[in-house]
Amino acid sequence: MPDSIGGHRFRDPALLAQSLRHRSAGTPHNERLEFLGDSLVNLFMAEALFARWPQADEGALTRARAELVRESALAPIARALDLGSRLTLGPGEMKSGGHRRDSILADALEAVVAAIYLDAGFEACRGAVLPWFEPSLDALPPPHKVGKDAKTRLQEWLQGRQKPLPTYTLLSESGEEHAKIFHVSCVLPEPSLVTEGEGSSRRAAEQMAAEAALVVLEQRPGKA
């Protein structure tokens, strides 16, 4: 339905239209709504995390909220709601594929949240928006691991057991210059372990290799 989105049917369709109007298309655009929606999303995520993790400290809660509300986390939700196809963009943004850009999609999602709030109030907005984030909330790692990349977590695992740190070695590069694939090994002297990872950058490949090492280490009896 043209006047509904993500399970909410608008009483004021103009709010929905404005939330999906990029500034490149003229006024009224969605930047003010984006400002309000950003605060609402942060509040909803803070509230959800507070309820889900009763033992987590402020640092873990803050890191988890940052994971949930960053641009790269919001854009997939916008895509799941098919916001891209409903955006109103100026000619330049249309030509450059703005409806696919993470930044534009994430901003539009926040604007839509604000539009729902203005259209129906706080409770209705929270009820409509929280289900969009449930998969992301469910996918979060345990509180003590949130916000730490695999290389950091592997280093902490080893240091906590007074084990030597790993070494990362570039094994190969392949592909065209604009689409290279890096193949990296992660070698642990003690406990003896070698894992490998691939990625679009050396850093990404190292992270994959470290994650593979953690999976093995944390499945071992005694974890030592």
Residue 72 pLDDT: 84
Cα 135 to Cα 77, 130, 180: the distances in Å are 10, 10, 31
Please identify which of the residues 3, 12, 31, 38 carries the catalytic annotation. Answer: 38
How far is residue 197's CA from residue 143's CA, in Å, rounded to a whole number?
25
pLDDT at 137: 93
Q: How far apart are CA 223 and CA 20, in angstroms?
A: 50
Q: Extract the tokens encoding 215.
A: 């999976």
Q: List, as residue ranges, the binding site for Mg(2+).
A: 34, 107, 110
Q: Which helix (H) or strand (E) holds 214?
A: helix 202-219
pLDDT at 37: 98
Annotated binding site: 34, 107, 110
Q: Is 176 a catalytic residue?
A: no
Active-site residue, 110 included:
yes
Question: What pLDDT does residue 43 have?
Answer: 97
Domains and CATH numbers, the chain: 4-144 (1.10.1520.10), 150-223 (3.30.160.20)
Q: Which of 67, 110, 119, 206 is catalytic?
A: 110
Averaged over successive runs of 10 residues, the pLDDT of the chain (224 residues) comes to 86 96 94 97 97 91 89 92 94 89 94 98 97 92 78 88 94 84 94 92 90 86 54
